[in-house]
A and B are shown apart, each in its own frame.
Chain A
Amino acid sequence: QDTQEKEKTIPPERAEEAKLKAKYPNLGQKPGGSDFLRKRLQKGQKYFDSGDYNMAKAKVKNKQLPSAGPDKNLVTGDHIPTPQDLPQRKSSLVTSKLAG
């Protein structure tokens, strides 16, 4: 009963904050600051090798190879990745929260 009364007086925002900290104890000290901003600024970042990409384009012209194999996630070995093949590198906010 004592804890129930405490919850009544805690503002809803603080209660939600407590829930979040319980789930992610390593949540960064800076509340809502640089992590989100840096992620926002890096939107659209995709990693690929422009040399690989141009070689793949040339290869396709010469041999008419399909540019993507049956497994689109295969980015090693024979298969030269093109920007379209790479899986979307969507930075998960959940992962970064754990990283702190």
Chain B
Amino acid sequence: ADIISTVEFNHSGELLATGDKGGRVVIFQQEQENKTQSHSRGEYNVYSTFQSHEPEFDYLKSLEIEEKINKIRWLPQKNAAQFLLSTNDKTIKLWKISERDKRPEGYNLKEEDGRYRDPTTVTTLRVPVFRPMDLMVEASPRRIFANAHTYHINSISINSDYETYLSADDLRINLWHLEITDRSFNIVDIKPANMEELTEVITAAEFHPNSCSTFVYSSSKGTIRLCDMRASALCDRHSKLFEEPEDPSNRSFFSEIISSISDVKFSHSGRYMMTRDYLSVKIWDLNMENRPVETYQVHEYLRSKLCSLYENDCIFDKFECCWNGLDRQVEFFSVFHGSIVMTGSYNNFFRMFDRNSKRDVTLEASRENNKPRTVLKPRKVCGSGKRKKDEISVDSLDFNKKILHTAWHPKENIIAVATTNNLYIFQDKMN
């Protein structure tokens, strides 16, 4: 099993794609709901596996190009086939995943196994017919978008026009048309003329869910810039700059590093966006640039461990975050999209924050500590001091067990949580 590097549900939630460090994509499909078994939703089974990217070597730059899949984004379904974009550090590919459940039989010049028949033995003609066969799922690359990024691609985002998408690397953002592979449009360039003056890099980018000319990008300095492509061809000047003022008395060597934003996600409405930095999750109202409207502490107990987290490089870990799915009616209350946010942590823990009740929970993705089909037990981490029963001390946390990637089903309360090598799928308890 390889290291999972990205997890993404498609727009209906029926399919779940994972990418790994070895360049492979594995797609899971949800079983159709069993009408008699109303107590559980369909399980996810492997639907398709394919090698998306191979390792490459750029001889001109002496640069090794990893095959690791950084991001997968699904296109909305237009016909029987499914399409997704997958990217490594340098190249984006559009993959078509289609099903085949029939095959032609009864050719005149070929045997069923493909061998050619001796034409002199053919005395009558027949019309080949399609006969059912075992379902085959095929993945084929339809477009390869290459050679547009000098630096390492960290994000791809499909526009709400469903015709264009953006790809972002450390210093530049490019706009592509899904049909055109031989050119792309540079829309953001923050490379300084003199690289010695480099102070900040792009860490994530996303298109607005409804406004096709609007996108945001986050930086290593903890800022988010909103840009409007109608304003100018090169969006070097932001329309809005979101930044929380820093308390100068709290500034330390670590301040900038832990303020670096590792993920940015718009809410479904597009009114809010969520950012993840090393220690917290922040919710921003697009109408207010000077501070977030909400801040949730993911693992504040790590603030007194920053020295060792810097030494073992964990301080540079890039955690993602996600919103819960669409509005749902459950009994007497509604769970609206955007009411719960989720993100990962260490020791195979992941966190959920309920924005309405302000309650939060820490759960663990591990086979040893959770039997299948049992309710997950909430966990609690305590500081180095006194430890209560059932609490886990911060000193005994395993920093190699990190949950960087999580995803929430767009319509149901089903979540996918990736530990280093395993994918866990959890669903909420139904009555």
Give A contacts to B, CB under 8 Å. 11-17, 19-21, 23, 27, 31-34, 36-38, 40-41, 43-48, 50, 83, 93-94
Residue of B nearest to A94 (CB): B311
Contact A36 B257 (CB under 8 A): yes
CB distance B316 to A36 under 8 Å? Answer: yes
Report whether B311 and A44 are in contact in the complex, using a CB–CB cutoff of 8 Å: no
Query: Is B64 within 8 A of A16, CB to CB?
Result: no
Docked Cα-Cα span, A34 to B64, in Å, equals: 22
* Cβ-defined contact, B313 with A37, below 8 A: no
CB contact between B310 and one of A20, A34, A46 (< 8 Å): that residue = A20
Interface size class for chain B?
35 or more
Known: A13-B306, A46-B62, A46-B63. A34 touches B250 (CB 8 A): no
* Known contacts A31-B255, A40-B170, A46-B64: A93-B313 contact under CB 8 Å: yes
Beyond A16-B307, A41-B152, 20 extra complex contacts between A and B, CB < 8 Å: A12-B304, A13-B250, A13-B252, A13-B254, A15-B304, A16-B304, A16-B306, A17-B307, A20-B306, A31-B256, A32-B254, A32-B255, A32-B256, A32-B257, A36-B257, A37-B170, A41-B151, A41-B201, A44-B152, A93-B313
21 A-B residue pairs with CB within 8 Å: A13-B250, A13-B254, A16-B303, A16-B306, A17-B252, A17-B306, A20-B253, A20-B307, A23-B311, A32-B254, A33-B256, A37-B170, A38-B195, A38-B198, A40-B152, A40-B170, A41-B170, A43-B152, A45-B62, A83-B64, A93-B313
Chain A proximity of B173: nearest CB distance (Å):
16
A13 B62 Cβ-Cβ under 8 A: no
| Contact partners of B220 in chain A: CB under 8 A | 37
Contact of A17 among B61, B254, B316 (CB under 8 A): B254
Contacts of B306 in A (CB 8 A): 12-13, 16-17, 20
